[in-house]
């Protein structure tokens, strides 16, 4: 049964939440009284529809239904989850939560607040047990972290249900067990931000120099190992204890001003704004967002290959959205979006990636006949020995494509597939591939007869496909 989320506040964060839910198959109901809310929401959704599918090798679930509503009561009607994403004013959040619980007392309520504790949010609430902090990071549709902060009176079963739902959205619910202002991540960010303001204020560094110091060094390390694991490596074989012994005394040196912040005078604001304009003022916000999203996708896909950090989360989530192949002729062996890191200097999909997508299509066929991971673990597999690819039309990042596959030979040691890659939007044929695979024993690395069960399924599949006519163009 399709679940329903209500989003109260359709700005950058609320819109990101709406996109994350919607693109994972939830129905989404939005309330935002701002006349420009619909346009802002559309812009966020446009970015999300372009970006999120590029993370995965399979199609996301069919989108849920999006609707905009004129009142909070109408928006939360029938909602399983309500995500409050209004401005950081405690009185406003109290008002919103009161209206939500009056209209739908059964809904779980999460707040996107970056600073308030759940106990503060629960003050005066009709049912504080169903209220918690669920603080995400922008862009919500790509970045997986959600700081999940309950209070002592939050219902543990509600927390567990929230964890299950967030995980199913491909997110990482970080359960913060103890309330604290600004939670965990924002406190760390605030420390770096304060020091950066001092560096600009004291004319030590410009905004661009500070950004370069982060993105060319420790930002890359943090993106895949975090802080403590990075420093453990810095300690060498002796580990963290050695690192703390070697660098701990430096903590007493006056390197930072973390407990202070420069006055945001008009002069300092002008300096920061001028430097920021010089750094990236030539780009629109939409251009910066697309660049950010493309970079995040490329980095997260690289981490996917290593099954590490956020890449491991994407891999795990992908297995939950992967669907078995419908037993049809031809087989739709791949259904996905072309990611940005598959394109070349000409701006279209690199020819090597056609080999990737046709190889993935063949893997789907192997899974279909019972020659997937478990079969390989038993010591048997199929190796590709010959391919013939024709490139018929350009394909670009962000395009949804399908691969239609027909099995043209399936006797003995041989498996031959004819693949046709088409653009989903118009059915245009983009490329074809004739692929011959030979069954092998992984211990001897020589050809051998397949398992009888696999051989039987393959033969029956080839017989079904024989009457369908060629897919080759």
Q: Which segments are annotated as binding site?
A: 9-14
Calculate the alpha carbon distances from 341 to 217, 228, 348, 385 in Å: 22, 30, 10, 27
The annotation places the binding site for NAD(+) at 9-14
Calculate the alpha carbon distances from 289 to 44, 46, 103, 156, 316 in Å: 10, 11, 36, 37, 26
Q: Which residues of 297-322 are buried (b: 16+ CB within 10 A; e: fewer)?
A: bebbbebbeeeebbbebbbebbeebe
Calculate the alpha carbon distances from 208 to 200, 221, 256 in Å: 10, 19, 20
Record the tokens describing residue 370, joined without a space.
């019972």
CB 397 within 8 A of CB 343: yes
- d(C-alpha 133, C-alpha 148), whole Å: 6
Angle at 366 between CA 416 and CA 373, to 5 degrees: 145
Give every CB contact of residue 372 below 8 A, 6+ residues apart in sequence: 363, 366
CB 332 within 8 A of CB 403: yes
Give every CB contact of residue 235 below 8 A, 6+ residues apart in sequence: 241, 242, 243, 244, 246
**Would you give the distance in Å from CA 344 to the centre of its chain?**
23
End-to-end CA distance of the chain: 41
Q: What's the chain's Rg over C-alpha atoms?
A: 26
Q: What is the DSSP string of 337-378?
A: E--GGGB-TTSSB-HHHHHHHHHHHHHHHHHHTT-SHHHHHT
Residue 236 is given by DSSP the state G
- d(C-alpha 332, C-alpha 57), whole Å: 14
Residue 28 is given by DSSP the state E
- d(C-alpha 110, C-alpha 130), whole Å: 8
- d(C-alpha 308, C-alpha 292), whole Å: 20
- d(C-alpha 337, C-alpha 449), whole Å: 36
Q: What are phi and psi of 273, to 5 degrees?
A: -65, -40
3-state DSSP call for residue 259? Answer: coil
């Amino acid at each position: 049964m399709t679940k329903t989320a209500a989003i109260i506040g359709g700005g950058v964060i609320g819109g990101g939440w709406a996109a994350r839910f919607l693109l994972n198959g939830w129905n989404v109901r939005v309330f935002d009284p701002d006349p420009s809310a619909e346009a802002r929401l559309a812009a966020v959704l446009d970015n999300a529809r372009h970006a999120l599918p590029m993370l995965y090798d399979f199609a996301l679930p069919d989108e849920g239904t999006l609707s905009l509503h004129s009142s909070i009561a109408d928006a939360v009607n029938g909602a399983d989850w309500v995500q409050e994403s209004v401005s950081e004013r405690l009185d406003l959040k109290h008002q919103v939560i009161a209206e939500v619980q009056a209209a739908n007392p059964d809904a779980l309520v999460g707040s996107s607040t970056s600073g308030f504790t759940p106990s503060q949010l629960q003050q005066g609430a009709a049912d504080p047990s169903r209220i918690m902090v669920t603080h995400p990071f922008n862009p919500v549709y790509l970045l997986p972290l959600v700081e999940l902060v309950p209070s002592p009176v939050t219902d543990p079963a509600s927390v567990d249900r929230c964890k299950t739902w967030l995980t199913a959205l491909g997110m990482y619910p970080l359960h913060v067990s103890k309330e604290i202002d600004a939670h965990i991540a924002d406190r760390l960010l605030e420390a770096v931000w304060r020091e950066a303001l001092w560096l600009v204020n004291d004319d030590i560094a410009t905004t661009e120099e500070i950004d370069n110091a982060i993105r060319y060094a420790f930002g890359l390390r943090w993106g895949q190992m975090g802080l403590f694991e990075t420093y453990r490596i810095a300690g060498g074989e002796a580990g963290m204890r050695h690192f703390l012994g070697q660098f701990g005394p430096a903590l007493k040196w006056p390197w930072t001003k973390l407990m202070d912040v420069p006055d945001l005078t008009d002069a300092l604001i002008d300096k920061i704004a001028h430097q920021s304009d010089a750094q990236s003022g030539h780009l629109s916000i939409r251009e910066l967002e697309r660049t950010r999203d493309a970079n995040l996708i490329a980095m997260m896909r690289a981490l996917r290959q290593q099954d590490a950090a956020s890449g491991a989360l994407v891999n795990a989530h992908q297995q939950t959205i992967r669907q078995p192949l419908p037993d049809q002729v031809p087989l739709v062996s791949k259904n996905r979006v072309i990611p940005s890191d598959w394109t070349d200097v000409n701006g279209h999909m690199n020819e090597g990636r056609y080999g990737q997508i046709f190889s993935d299509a063949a893997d789907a066929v192997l899974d279909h006949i019972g020659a997937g991971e478990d079969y390989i673990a038993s010591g048997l597999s199929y190796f590709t020995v010959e391919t013939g690819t024709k490139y018929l039309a350009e394909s670009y990042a962000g395009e949804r494509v399908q691969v239609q596959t027909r099995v043209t030979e399936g006797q003995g040691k041989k498996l031959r597939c004819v693949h046709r890659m088409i653009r989903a939007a118009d059915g245009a044929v983009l490329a074809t591939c004739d692929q011959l695979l030979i069954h092998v024993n992984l211990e001897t690395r020589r050809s051998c007869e397949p398992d009888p069960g696999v051989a039987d399924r393959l033969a029956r599949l080839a017989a079904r496909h024989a009457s369908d006519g060629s897919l080759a163009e």
